[in-house]
């Protein structure tokens, strides 16, 4: 396992041709996926092997995994950067809120600095161009305490994290002008506006305002229950991107259970196919 704070690979990174496509018909589309692994380590024998099967099926080029461990590698040949340990909430130092995994060269950014609450940014050099991925967990509504240890009421930490993280999205766009940016992970809010979906109107608006200010658009706002892509409960994971990325096809989603009815996580898996404009 590579060190969490710095990653590199010595071998040459080849251009990855899409599944079954010959080089002369190469279409430079890549897949970004996000999934909350519900704190399953590689030793979770009843779940982890089937989660690995799911990740192999999704076959993403870039993963943002949340509620994860440093040893949960999506597939062979990937490297990662991680948010720092949050020992007050997750005593195992190998457990992290957020990981960004890439099949291409990846390096952690220190501005904005990685945060134990679950944010981390990385520069990824793809064969099609460089981009920044900001991986996130926006704290859930009953997060028990603020960073200084004060008890928190419902939605207080969630709201504070929206303020912190949306400021960082805007900051990234200012210090890295012209660089493609993706923000992905567990936002802990449904964004379709469907009645009784998780989140509040105020916190949804705060995220929307932050995305707009940073020149980002959310690609996963549609309600996947209503479209039939997932079976129940609106999703709270999202993938957002700057306008220099074109979305190819619909949002892809895999349910919380596999084809045999095995529960893999309390969250579905989401992916989008993208291409540089």
pTM of structure: 0.90
Percentage of the chain exceeding pLDDT 70: 90
Collect all residues with Cβ–Cβ distance below 8 Å to 59 and sequence separation of at least 6: 19, 31, 75
- Would you state the pLDDT for residue 195? 66
5 pLDDT more than 80: no
- Would you state the pLDDT for residue 43? 83
14 pLDDT more than 60: no
**Domains parsed from the chain with CATH numbers:** 27-276 (3.60.10.10)
- Would you state the pLDDT for residue 197? 80
CB 265 within 8 A of CB 38: yes
Mean pLDDT of 241-263: 95
CB 118 within 8 A of CB 140: no
**pLDDT band for position 15 (cuts 50, 70, 90):** very low
9 pLDDT more than 70: no
Query: Comparing 104-113, 149-158, 189-198, which segment has the lowest mean pLDDT?
Result: 189-198
Query: Comparing 9-18, 131-140, 206-215, which segment has the lowest mean pLDDT?
Result: 9-18
Q: In Å, how far are 11, 59, 186, 238, 268 from 34, measured between CA atoms?
A: 26, 12, 8, 8, 9
The span from the CA of 32 to the CA of 203, in Å, is 25
């Amino acid at each position: 396992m590579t060190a969490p704070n710095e990653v590199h690979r010595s071998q040459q990174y080849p251009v990855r041709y899409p599944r079954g496509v010959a080089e002369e018909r190469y279409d430079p589309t890549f897949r970004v996926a996000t999934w909350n692994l519900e704190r399953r380590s590689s030793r979770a024998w009843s779940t982890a092997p089937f989660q690995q099967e799911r990740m192999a099926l999704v076959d993403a080029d870039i993963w943002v995994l949340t509620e994860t461990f440093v040893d949960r590698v999506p597939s062979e040949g990937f490297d990662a950067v991680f948010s720092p340990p949050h020992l007050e909430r997750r005593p195992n130092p190998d457990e992290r809120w957020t990981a960004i995994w890439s099949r291409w060269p990846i390096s952690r950014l220190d501005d904005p600095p990685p945060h134990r609450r679950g944010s981390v940014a990385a520069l990824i050099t793809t064969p099609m161009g460089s981009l920044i991925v900001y991986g996130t967990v926006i704290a859930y509504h009953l997060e028990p305490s603020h960073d200084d240890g004060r008890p928190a009421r419902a939605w207080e930490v969630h709201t504070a994290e929206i303020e912190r993280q949306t400021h960082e999205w805007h900051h990234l766009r200012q210090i890295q002008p012209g660089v493609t940016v993706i923000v992905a992970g567990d936002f802990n809010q449904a964004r379709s506006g469907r009645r009784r979906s998780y989140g509040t109107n105020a916190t949804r608006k705060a995220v929307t305002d932050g995305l707009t200010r940073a020149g980002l658009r959310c690609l996963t706002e549609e309600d996947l229950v209503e479209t039939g892509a997932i079976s129940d409960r609106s999703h709270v994971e999202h993938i957002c991107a700057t306008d220099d990325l074109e979305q190819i096809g619909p949002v892809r989603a895999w349910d919380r259970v596999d084809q045999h009815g095995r529960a893999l996580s309390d969250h579905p898996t989401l992916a989008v196919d993208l291409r540089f404009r």
